[in-house]
A and B are shown apart, each in its own frame.
Chain A
Amino acid sequence: METDLNSQDRKDLDKFIKFFALKTVQVIVQARLGEKICTRSSSSPTGSDLFNLAIKDIPEVTHEAKKALAGQLPAVGRSMCVEISLKTSEGDSMELEIWCLEMNEKCDKEIKVSYTVYNRLSLLLKSLLAITRVTPAYRLSRKQGHEYVILYRIYFGEVQLNGLGEGFQTVRVGTVGTPVGTITLSCAYRINLAFMSTRTAGEDDGVTYPSVEDSQEVCTTSFSTSPPSQLMVPGKEGGVPLAPNQPAHGAQADQERLATHTPADMAHCAATPSSSEDTETVSNSSEGRASPHDVLETIFVRKVGAFVNKPINQVTLTSLDIPFAMFAPKNLELEDTDPMVNPPDSPEPASPLHGSLHSEGSSGGSSGNAHDDFVMIDFKPAFSKDDILPMDLGTFYREFQNPPQLSSLSIDIGAQSMAEDLDSLPEKLAVHEKNVREFDAFVETLQ
């Protein structure tokens, strides 16, 4: 593998590879911070922007990367890997991606180091910027928060893909040939997002496990929306993926095992922090196409908009193209009992006029009965939080949905005032007739 590289070229090449490795780590980690990244172009070269790309250096990340490299460079059999994992508020974690910077033996001895290799490494970094936004973990990382956070771990040596589960997929970002070997950058990402129980006594290899909740139920169900009552209180970690205290960080590979969970516990893992819409889940579901997002097909229920009924089982309602169908009574055969269709019998009306007033009032007045007839579902208004407080939006809405009728609209008072008005009408007319001349004079002044 020894080449005819002169010492200057060799030095330059080593420098390029080292800084390329450090920048690669920065791009990957920054793409998983959960925020949009923005750097400015500068027409004047600053000298510190390697590969002519504005990529910020987060000091902790550089420190971790340098620690992992320990003065070495990626070489054949020695790859630099960045592991991206998800950790829930309950302490369970799961590897999502492994980004690998590898070197193989295929050399390109003709290539110019200071020019071609440099430019191609720059191009490869641009490709990395694009690809990091395209793998499934990106959208997960943008939604991290109370329920889960995204973590990273850098290690150097042999690539370990066991933690990605079965059937993981790979995307190649690109390759750059150099006189000492070909640099390859790729990403292997998980497609099976189920938590699995692998905790047994025999697997304690003397490595300390992070404390996680114990649950013995083996479960490979998908992430589904949980009923609001089962959602967890916001976890300890607040979406900051750079947690230096995490035992997962560091140069050694962990032997971390994942705990099992019941479907209810898993429910919030990849859900958005705002869970008020009871049919909302993380998006990115697919329907069996060969794309990066096939991975999530079995896991996430399709994201549906507010007020749209769950499409899976409740066919009877969703097949009707009725707006707000989910608020309609579930049992269509019970339409007879629908108070809007058949208003409850009113007390005997004194007159047809009174009767109409009464029926208008009763639907609002008999709040107790109407209340029971209308509330068929556990109403979760959009954007409201869990029912932690005594009076949340849903409760407020239910209670004040049927307010008591206004007294001025009540039958007796209304009827009474109408009767009085009718009786006093002849007297008023007589008075006005007497004052006709005054009225006429007044009208003339207006003209």
Chain B
Amino acid sequence: MNCRSEVLEMSVEGRQVEEAMLAVLHTVLLHRSTGKFHYKKEGTYSIGTVGTQDVDCDFIDFTYVRVSSEELDRALRKVVGEFKDALRNSGGDGLGQMSLEFYQKKKSRWPFSDECIPWEVWTVKVHVVALATEQERQICREKVGEKLCEKIINIVEVMNRHEYLPKMPTQSEVDNVFDTGLRDVQPYLYKISFQITDALGTSVTTTMRRLIKDTLAL
């Protein structure tokens, strides 16, 4: 099974990074979260209810919808905050990306650890621009809002292709497919990572690979 990969790119001002990223990640997770499963004795299950709420952005003329789960929101804000800080501290051109990967766990026999098999990866690339005047910032507010509207439409288009989704698991398998750790909702198993691109335009991991290669060549 091939992993589905979607890439979104945006140019934003520094203070818009968090909100733009959260808007995209929350929209994806809205579509990739269900209510909590409650398994019954006969092997059937019932599903809890997912609430939603509107979030107005402060630095972008945009409103997005997220799942009503404070735990999920906190988790996303934490990692997006780390990304924003890393981007700011990198001192480079302000290029970075976050990846939201949905995966399934495949149990392996001892001594091997469980395998994580991704089935969908969303990559959001941001390019941070610096603006000089208030007028430019105002224009940027609107433009980024419009761009985000396009991204939401793109995301919805992908979601409604109804491509591969993991099979609904039995009770014993549910933790291999869903993140059952949240109290109120149940997203598919996911992990979020980020990369900062250095000034040379290469990612940090690529640089490491090159270093090792060079070392071996000596």
Stretch at the interface among B88-96, B100-108, B155-163, B209-217: B155-163
A162 contacts the other chain (Cβ, under 8 Å)? no
Residues 107-161 of B contacting A (Cβ, < 8 Å): 133-135, 138-139, 141-143, 145-147, 149-150, 152-153, 155-157, 159-160
A253 contacts the other chain (Cβ, under 8 Å)? no
What's the minimum C-beta distance from A179 to chain B, rounded to whole angstroms? 15
Task: Say which residue of B67, B146, B162 sits within 8 Å of A289 (CB atoms).
Answer: B146
A44 contacts the other chain (Cβ, under 8 Å)? yes
Return chain A residues, CB-CB under 8 Å to B30. Answer: 126, 129-130
**Interface pair A127/B142, CB less than 8 Å apart:** no
Q: How far is the CA of A43 from the CA of B180 in the complex (A)?
A: 11
**Interface pair B67/A291, CB less than 8 Å apart:** no
B99 contacts the other chain (Cβ, under 8 Å)? no
Q: How far is the CA of A37 from the CA of B38 in the complex (A)?
A: 27
**Interface pair B153/A41, CB less than 8 Å apart:** no
Mostly helix, strand, loop or mixed at chain B's interface?
Answer: mixed
B16 contacts the other chain (Cβ, under 8 Å)? no
Stretch at the interface among A218-226, A236-244, A255-263, A304-312: A304-312
Q: How far is the CA of A120 from the CA of B165 in the complex (A)?
A: 11
Return chain A residues, CB-CB under 8 Å to B52. Answer: 37-39, 53-54, 126, 129
* Chain A, interface residues (CB within 8 Å), range: 35 or more
**Interface pair A46/B49, CB less than 8 Å apart:** yes
**Interface pair A171/B146, CB less than 8 Å apart:** no
A285 contacts the other chain (Cβ, under 8 Å)? yes
**Interface pair A293/B146, CB less than 8 Å apart:** yes
**Interface pair A130/B49, CB less than 8 Å apart:** no
Task: Say which residue of A133, A176, A286 sits within 8 Å of B54 (CB atoms).
Answer: A133
Return chain A residues, CB-CB under 8 Å to B11. Answer: none
B36 contacts the other chain (Cβ, under 8 Å)? yes
A434 contacts the other chain (Cβ, under 8 Å)? no
Return chain A residues, CB-CB under 8 Å to B145. Answer: 283-284, 293
**Interface pair A133/B63, CB less than 8 Å apart:** yes
A405 contacts the other chain (Cβ, under 8 Å)? no
What's the minimum C-beta distance from A320 to chain B, rounded to whole angstroms? 12
A298 contacts the other chain (Cβ, under 8 Å)? no
Q: How far is the CA of A349 from the CA of B5 in the complex (A)?
A: 83
Known pairs A37-B53, A127-B159; A292 contacts B146 (CB<8 A): yes
Known pairs A129-B30, A134-B149; A45 contacts B160 (CB<8 A): no
Return chain B residues, CB-CB under 8 Å to A124. Answer: 160
B85 contacts the other chain (Cβ, under 8 Å)? no
What's the minimum C-beta distance from B21 to chain A, rounded to whole angstroms? 16
**Interface pair A38/B34, CB less than 8 Å apart:** no
Return chain A residues, CB-CB under 8 Å to B146. Answer: 284, 286, 289, 291-293
Q: How far is the CA of A59 from the CA of B46 in the complex (A)?
A: 27
CB < 8 Å A-B pair total: 153
Return chain A residues, CB-CB under 8 Å to B47. Answer: 45, 52
**Interface pair B48/A44, CB less than 8 Å apart:** yes
The interface centre, meaning the residue of B30, B46, B149 with most chain A CB atoms within 10 A of its CB, is B149
Return chain B residues, CB-CB under 8 Å to A129. Answer: 30, 52, 65
B51 contacts the other chain (Cβ, under 8 Å)? yes
Using an 8 Å CB-CB cutoff, how does the interface string of B27-46 with A read, 1 for contact, 0 for none?
Answer: 10011001110100000001
Q: How far is the CA of A302 from the CA of B30 in the complex (A)?
A: 32
Return chain A residues, CB-CB under 8 Å to B198. Answer: none
Return chain B residues, CB-CB under 8 Å to A36. Answer: 53-54, 56, 63
**Interface pair A120/B162, CB less than 8 Å apart:** yes
Return chain A residues, CB-CB under 8 Å to B56. Answer: 36
5 tightest CB-CB pairs across the interface, nearest first?
Answer: A174-B160, A38-B53, A39-B51, A41-B51, A41-B184
Further pairs besides A43-B35, A283-B141, A283-B145: 5, Cβ < 8 Å: A38-B51, A123-B159, A133-B64, A292-B146, A304-B135
8 contacts between A and B (CB under 8 A): A37-B54, A41-B68, A45-B38, A124-B160, A126-B31, A293-B145, A302-B139, A304-B138
Which residues of A does B touch, CB under 8 Å? 36-46, 49, 52-54, 115, 120, 123-124, 126-127, 129-131, 133-135, 138-139, 142, 171-176, 283-287, 289, 291-293, 302-305, 308, 311, 321
Which residues of B does A touch, CB under 8 Å? 27, 30-31, 34-36, 38, 46-54, 56, 61, 63-65, 67-69, 133-135, 138-139, 141-143, 145-147, 149-150, 152-153, 155-157, 159-160, 162, 168, 183-185
